């Protein structure tokens, strides 16, 4: 099985770090193929940079998606998730969506803990978009960005642990998600100190992608996630233009 692991920001370091975690939990027969966005923000910190990242997801899939059995969008917030799910002929799994659905099976309410203040309202909007607002206990953020946490995880561990405990004690979370590619691999390091299930977003996404790839279901040919009608384009990369214009199939 081949999983295309798309980091839609431009940090190759984060891509490789996340891919390393992904490989450590993937099945022996799963190949993790990492890919990094060719343009956009170094790290996503706003709705604007997330919108650009959505374009980068589509562009990266158009370039690198041949032969993939499923795609993982390796950015918590899942930029481009619905658009790529419409375009791709294979399952598309986002780290945030996979983690939220997993958390919702482990308790009545879940919380998200992530890096970067701007992500609070953005993730509340995302959870609403996937229909899980009533299951969300809250979104808690720490001041460093995910990229900062990835650069010095030891410095962030105590803060992340404290915020997870606050989400449990004050927000009533029955499960907590550590969200963000930069936080991958940290859940197992503080899980013993958090009295509810603590979910690593990369692990959740890989597990769900492997399951989706082996379900044996076909691409939707009708409904809102069927491939859209071909349309002429201008200014896009040649591979993405070919997909949107119907000259290349996924």
Alpha carbons 74 and 57: distance in angstroms, whole number: 10
pTM of the model: 0.95
96-110: average pLDDT: 98
- In this prediction, residue 195 has a pLDDT band, given cuts at 50, 70 and 90, of very high
The full set of domains in the chain, from first to last, is 2-95+206-244 (3.40.50.12500), 98-201 (3.40.50.12500)
Cα torsion at 108, 130, 191, 74 (round to 10°)?
170
To the nearest 10 degrees (0 to 180), the angle between helices 201-213 and 95-106 is 100
pLDDT surpassing 90 at residue 152: no
- pLDDT the model gives residue 24: 98
- pLDDT the model gives residue 199: 99
Cα torsion at 115, 120, 122, 128 (round to 10°)?
130
Per-residue pLDDT tens digits for 104-141? 999 999 999 999 889 999 999 999 999 999 999 999 99
Nearest to 121 by CA among 99, 138, 143: 138
């Amino acid at each position: 099985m081949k999983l295309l692991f798309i980091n839609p920001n431009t940090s190759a370091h984060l891509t490789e770090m996340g891919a390393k975690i992904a490989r450590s939990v993937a099945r022996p027969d799963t190949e993790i193929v990492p890919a990094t966005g060719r343009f956009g923000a170094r790290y996503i910190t706003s709705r604007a940079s997330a919108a650009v990242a959505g374009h980068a997801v589509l562009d990266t899939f158009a370039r690198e998606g041949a032969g993939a059995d499923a795609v993982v969008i390796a950015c918590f917030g899942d930029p481009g998730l619905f658009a790529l799910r419409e375009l791709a002929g294979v399952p598309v799994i986002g780290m945030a969506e996979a983690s939220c659905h997993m958390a919702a099976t482990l308790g009545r309410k879940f919380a998200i803990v992530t890096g970067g203040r701007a992500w609070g309202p953005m993730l509340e909007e995302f959870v609403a978009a996937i229909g899980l607002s009533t299951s969300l206990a809250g979104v808690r953020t720490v001041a460093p960005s995910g990229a900062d946490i990835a650069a010095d995880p030891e410095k962030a561990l105590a803060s992340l642990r404290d915020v997870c405990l606050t989400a449990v004690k004050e927000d009533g979370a029955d499960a907590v998600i550590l969200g963000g590619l930069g936080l991958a691999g940290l859940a197992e390091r503080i899980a013993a100190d958090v009295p509810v299930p603590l979910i690593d977003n990369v692990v959740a996404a890989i597990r769900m992608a492997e399951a989706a790839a082996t379900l044996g279901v076909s691409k939707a040919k009708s409904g809102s996630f069927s491939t859209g009608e071909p349309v002429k384009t201008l200014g896009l990369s040649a591979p993405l233009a070919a997909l949107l214009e119907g000259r290349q199939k996924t």
